Structure 1
């Protein structure tokens, strides 16, 4: 198989995975003007609600869905005085009709107090056992005392509810850590079948992307080992039919580098995924297969399940680490993406070589955010 043929197959696998991935459904609730759009932009790097009007689900809930965004978002403007019962009925109907997975209820800390309507709405969610988190917004100018007062008032009304302090303007470490905590809680609460999409869409917690990719690798290694001693022609070994294709597609999807580039450059993105796949095809065909110990002496020109799992692990970890490093460079403000892209194939080869020659595993590397 030529690098070009492999590129085509990898790109097909990526597009197919992206098309069929299951997305989480998140309701962002709270009064108009509390900063819901800013929260969405901060987490997902997308001005979702500014792309145009959402699809009305009820009079109180609008749905925002885009093919290129890994989450489906719902907006509720909050409960107005004198409209409580109708609001509750419409929101509950929307949650059940749309199978909402998570609720983030936003309260602006710029107010004098937490309004009764906010408490009533949160109470409704809690009583129905919906996974709801309270997000305090506009916290950059709030005093520690005021933040403490708001938290205490919420905790006095609701037991064991998660509260997060956020700011769309400040880059202070505490707000970054709070968003990371919000993302981690969401991952824990979401069903596993939508976690790939959520972790892909979020631009806050890079470490969770790395961890999710490792989970994907382990799943595909198990599949590779499960092939037992089914003969696989050496000529096809770099891709091992569908399993490694899907694994690579999942890892690239989890990092969502095209979207990250578009977010940071203000453009439409330069097609990083396509460039990565091209680099991968050349590296796999030209280098990685040769690194497998004893590949030249395999009897009968076939690869068994043990070797298949070894190759899957090496390939998966190499792609994961390389994507992680590339993501870090882009986040650091490195606009010379072309240069980093040129280094990508070399990074993949290096990490694969570390695995085969030096027996380095995922736990041997240090990662940070």
Structure 2
């Protein structure tokens, strides 16, 4: 692994490397006819304007893979699903799905499909029905996404009847629209359905892919924020349990460094969950900006000393040791402080990339180091 600073101690390097290895990746197929609004939908749900021109890599003649460095998500986008080309497109997709499904690398597997149907068409094409069957046959859960939705009038029920194997039908309007009324004044239709799509997709993904999914989501959506917080709280619970187990035999205060890899790994995983770029440089910057880049033992002592101030009743280290309950509580306190800082940032800056320098500064203030 390439490191960014010789001052970063090995326990921190190892914790960061483990966080990177366990970050995972998700792959989503998005299919639909030309003009259905797939690119707009992708850019509305996920951070970083994924579907920018030139961001895709050709996989087949009619399918491209959209991804960006530091984003743990790839979108397999079919370039139009037209009746005259359906057989050709389906054959290509079948080959891609079979190749990925047989891979020993689970990060190559396809985890969910969005089948996009334009509401204005008011019908489900045979090609869309057949494609849904193909996904289901290959054990890929499918969400039917009715795009550019203005007035359902029972169309979502018709879609559900035609596509009997879909896991969910969600009507969305990815962008706000203004429609003229008879008086010449515009009626604004706000975005809709994106929170539902985000939640339905999360429900279909394996537990091991939830951190990657949370990272990929744009923070402009309330459902995305809830998913990020929920996943981050899981990371804290796991780290707190590990810290308690480590301290089951009391930790000498001078050896408080033993807690640091656990807490550094937790910080890194929470940062990934909230949308931090997945790279060694970014994670190392987060840790060293927050904890400093001094000697490992000094970081451990400083971290514990600062965290003790956050925990009522834990303000001293009894007998020169840290007991299991205290280690657990300290880890929970650090995790809760970090989640609070990140939540505040994304709520005040919806859809914006994380400012890690600002966030690290605020976290340092919270732990009073």
**TM-score normalised by the shorter chain: which range applies?**
0.7 to 0.9
Aligned to 1:68: 70
**Superposition CA RMSD, Å:** 3.6
The structure with the greater share of residues assigned to helix is 1
Is the partner of 1:48 in helix, strand or coil?
coil
Post-superposition offset of 1:136: 1.5
Q: Is 1:184 the equivalent of 2:180?
A: no
Matches within 5 A, 1:1-369: 13-14=15-16, 17-18=19-20, 20-52=22-54, 54-98=56-100, 99-139=109-149, 142=150, 144=151, 147-159=152-164, 161=166, 162-170=168-176, 175-176=191-192, 178-203=193-218, 204=221, 205-237=224-256, 240-256=259-275, 274=285, 278-279=289-290, 281=292, 284=303, 287-291=306-310, 293=313, 296-299=316-319, 301-331=320-350, 343-348=362-367
Counterpart CA distance in 2 for 1:285 and 1:294 is 11
TM-score (norm 2): 0.75
2:171 & 2:14 partners in 1: Cα distance? 41
CA distance in 1, matches of 2:322, 2:356: 37
Partners of 2:189 and 2:336 lie apart in 1 by: 30
Shift of 1:215: 1.0
**Structure 1 Cα separation of the partners of residues 307 and 8 of structure 2:** 14
Report the CA distance shift for 1:239/1:52 in structure 2 as closer, same or farther (over 3 A): farther
Give the superposition deviation at 1:273.
8.8
8 Å Cα contact 1:14-1:253 kept in structure 2: no
After superposition, the C-alpha distances for 1:254-302 in whole angstroms (9 at most, x for unaligned) are 112579xxxxxxxxxxx89946862455984663234554564532x33
- 1:314: how far off? 1.3
Q: For structure 1, list consecutive stretches of 5 or more residues without a partner in the other structure.
A: 260-270, 351-369
- Give the Cα–Cα distance (whole angstroms) in 1 for the partners of residues 343 and 154 of structure 2: 39
Structure 2: runs of 5 or more not aligned: 1-5, 101-108, 178-187, 293-298
Distance in 2 between residues matched to 1:207 and 1:189, nearest whole Å: 16
* Conserved 8 A contact 1:239-1:245: no
For the Cα contact (< 8 Å) 2:45–2:217, is it kept in 1? Answer: yes
CA–CA distance in 2 between the matches of 1:195 and 1:210? 12
Distance in 1 of aligned mates of 2:327 and 2:25: 31
Q: Aligned pairs, how many? A: 329
Three-state SS of the structure 1 residue aligned to 2:215 is helix
Q: CA deviation at 1:82?
A: 3.9
1:221 deviation in Å?
1.4
Q: Is the 8 A contact 2:253 2:317 kept in 1?
A: no
Q: Distance in 2 between matches of 1:297 and 1:69?
A: 41
